[in-house]
Amino acid sequence: MKKANLFLFLCFICFLTVNGQEKFRITGKVLLEEENSEAISVQVFLENTSYSTSTDTNGKFRIVNIPAGKYTLAAFLPGYKTFKTEVLIDKNLAGLKIKLKNLDESLEEVVVSGKRNSDKALTRLEAVDNFGIYEAKKNEVIVLENVVADKASNNARQIFRSITGINIWESDCAGLQIGVGGRGLSPDRTANFNTRQNGYDIAADALGYPETYYSPALQGVERIEIVRGAAGLQYGPQFGGLVNFVMKDGPEDKEVEFKTQQTYNTLGYYNSFNSVGGTILDNKLNYYVYNRYTVGDCWRCNSDFESSNTYVTLGYKFSSDTQLKFDYTNMSYLSQQPGGLTDRQFLNDPKQSNRERNWFKVNWNLFSVKLDTRIGPQTKLNIRSFGLISSRKALGNLQRIDRPDNPDEPRSLINGEFRNIGGEARVLQHYNAFGSKSVLLIGGRFYKGTTYQQQGEASKSSDPDFTFINPDSLSSDFDHPGKNYSFFAENVLNITDKFSVTPGLRFEHIQTISEGTYTDESTNILEPIIREEEKIYERSLWLAGLGLSYKFKDNLELYANYAQNYRPVRFSDLRIDNPSVRIDPNMQDETGYNLDLGIRYAVDERFSGEVTAFFLSYNNKIGSVQRVDTENFRVYRERTNIADAIHVGVESYFEYKLLSFGTDPSINDGLSLFSNLTLLRARYQSEENKTYEGKQVEFVPEMIFRGGFNLAFRNLKSTIQINYVGQQYSDASNATQTPEAVVGEIPAYYTLDFTTTYNIKKWDFTLGINNLTNNYYFTRRAVAYPGPGIIPADGFNMSITAGLTL
């Protein structure tokens, strides 16, 4: 009854009326000067802001929710001179007329930052956006400013609620690690996506160990770009595609702006986010700095943590054509790991823990320098270099979770050090073909990294003591150097004003090495043998892709895309120091392709959406299977190529505005419904091994649904969201339950979340209620850290955030 009353009270809050800072809108029309005709699909935006839109079939445009101030209004269409004019916004501006002049030999290009539609939480990338080509590709952009969610806790299921086909692992209450996977690929530390920040890699090793132990503070993120498997030609060969966190810059119209947000969560943790940014030196130097500090407990016992994340960016504008930008990121955290549970323990009490000596420590450092410049009237150059110096340390008892932790036994310590450096160069060339403007993107990449892995015994205490007690006698000590260079090209050919073809090609050369020593106890546990090992994998390959797009009109597009994909054998596939896991010495790289067929539509201002059918072919899929030793009849797990896998599915997303509070339906005020549904079937196919023929691929729920209602009225915004994820398995055998709980079923589950935000002048407030119905569920079974065993997700919790902008 108390929950029902609370729910009614929150619904009542949603309908409160408030007054806040007044905002304005600009409306007008764009014409082509020579033809004196309406200009369609012109980008119209306020320069150096995130306020942007495109003209409709009548050449009309509308930009809404603009704060008062001075701006530069710009309009851009390939083949025409960019229009710019200064405007003062202190009232609604209507009836503006913009005329674009044709260019014979020159073409100006613009970079539109932020959202493409000023009041939408979900938008798409343009066909040619910044230094990437996204024509005929399945892509989405999450505009964080417009997402009503618990951002202070990096709540991934709320942030990614509009992204179809996304499966999410929930492992910690503060979002220290965001784990997402798409279209049936494992969410494990987002390893099946090429994960980037501002366009550069942030994973431990992009090819050899692409796991992401660092997640940026979503309060400092401007938008998240997601491009599916077809992104491989530009961003690497991986099956999942791209996830790119685009960070905020300092405001262009202020020398100093300070923001602070303080959050308290009923689970027992505190989050403090503070940022400062602005533009100085005659509007040439833009800077932005934030720090996120989080400390406290999570939902379960033995889950203390402390985290600090700092981000610094400096951008200097030498001219309108040349800009230089520097980024630095540090994230460090220490967290106690409560360990996994067996199925019986989870049913009895999901909050319990029988591991109090397990700890995890991360220190992540990222560096990046980027140069954007124009080298010709229709040619632009982007050069970016980046590096990573980081570590992660895992300490504790990795034995089966159904066995008690003996405090008199030393713990196991796994130490990983990562040193990477890389660079990319991209050239974007506009030219005429078939009577229309076309765009060619060519680029190259060099990447060199070394991963150092050590494992041995650590102290018997319960403290986070990350030192080896016998540093000269480790159970394993390995170096994993790797190199990668690649070249890629994509070309948007506009055959007609409606039909485009986008071919692409990528060359990859990959070298991964594993060299070091390990302790072999297979013959004699009392007198183990120290063995040396060296494995070298070197290969070169070509990947091809093709995209087709047909625009029936501005609000209706049909697209198809094909792209080949590739996943090399990783360092974790070459060496695992675990007595219950063995490596198949004949393991092969994974190959396959993605195929998309989709339609994007917008019936009017009230109704829009997208439906995509996809086919993912995954050959020689690597995973762990259960074996029995024929000599001593011990059960062990082997990492090997399981079989080929086929993923087939349909993704759909739509938004429908049920009510508009006013006469203009394009303004966000109103009540809207959103629905995100994915139906997915993934099965193994194997002529040689009938054991896995027809088995459901692990971590593939056959149904994912996220939907709910958005309410906006003046400065009050609220969202209620339901999440349903279907049943899935943790390994290829489709076992439902095992004593050690590493392998088994992950039952279907649902959650209900409510979030409301209110802004008044310089203040902002957020109330978030997560897992409103207090369901007990879990999203993963861990093989090692933070388990082994079932990792329960959080129960009911509430957070309150207060913010101030000066």
Helix ranges (H only) for 528-649 are 571-574
Which is nearest to 625 in space by CA: 684, 701, 543, 708?
684
pLDDT of residue 627: 73
* CATH code of domain 245-805: 2.40.170.20
Rounded Cα distance between 132 and 351, Å, is 46
Cis peptide before 187 (omega within 30 of 0): no
pLDDT of residue 786: 87
Average pLDDT, whole number, for the chain?
A: 89
The tokens describing 299, both together, are 């939902």
Q: Count other Cβ atoms within 10 Å, centred on residue 424.
A: 23
Q: Are 565 and 229 in contact (CB under 8 A)?
A: yes
Give the bridge partners for 424, in sequence order: 384, 445
Three-state DSSP state, 573: helix
Q: Are 205 and 322 in contact (CB under 8 A)?
A: no
Rounded Cα distance between 383 and 485, Å, is 15
pLDDT at 279 over 60: yes
Rounded Cα distance between 210 and 186, Å, is 13
Rounded Cα distance between 653 and 305, Å, is 36
pLDDT tens, residue by residue, 711-745: 999 899 999 999 999 999 999 989 998 888 988 99
**Range in 252-256, 268-272, 432-436, 632-636 the model is least confident about:** 632-636
Rounded Cα distance between 285 and 277, Å, is 11
pTM of this structure: 0.86
pLDDT of residue 555: 83
DSSP label of 341: B
pLDDT tens, residue by residue, 181-208: 999 999 999 999 999 999 999 999 988 8
Q: Report the run of H or E that residue 3 belongs to, with start and end.
A: helix 2-14
Q: Report the run of H or E that residue 346 belongs to, with start and end.
A: helix 343-348
pLDDT of residue 1: 42
Rounded Cα distance between 360 and 302, Å, is 12
Cis peptide before 251 (omega within 30 of 0): no
**Range in 144-148, 218-222, 666-670 the model is least confident about:** 666-670
Rounded Cα distance between 546 and 137, Å, is 10
Q: Are strands 93-100 and 23-32 parallel, antiparallel or unpaired?
A: parallel
Whole-number Cα distances in Å, 380 to 159, 429, 443, 465, 800: 33, 7, 12, 51, 46
Is 374 buried (19+), middle (13-18) or exposed (0-12) by CB count in 10 A? middle
pLDDT of residue 413: 95
The fold for domain 25-108 equals Immunoglobulin-like (2.60.40)
Q: How far is CA 674 from the centre of its chain?
A: 21
pLDDT tens, residue by residue, 208-226: 889 999 999 999 999 999 9
pLDDT tens, residue by residue, 293-318: 999 999 999 999 999 999 999 999 99
pLDDT at 769 over 70: yes
Q: Are 485 and 463 in contact (CB under 8 A)?
A: no
Rounded Cα distance between 449 and 206, Å, is 9
pLDDT tens, residue by residue, 504-523: 999 999 998 889 998 876 65
Is 523 buried (19+), middle (13-18) or exposed (0-12) by CB count in 10 A? exposed
pLDDT at 27 over 70: yes
**Distance between terminal CA atoms of the chain?**
42
List of residues 6+ apart from 452 with CB closer than 8 A: 415, 416, 417, 418, 419, 478, 479, 480
pLDDT at 3 over 50: no
Rounded Cα distance between 10 and 371, Å, is 48
Which is nearest to 482 in space by CA: 520, 445, 446, 513?
513
pLDDT tens, residue by residue, 387-446: 999 999 999 998 889 888 999 999 999 999 999 999 999 999 988 887 778 899 999 999
What residue spans define the domains of the chain?
25-108, 245-805
What's the mean pLDDT in 18-41? 75
The tokens describing 378, both together, are 């229709």
pLDDT at 491 over 60: yes
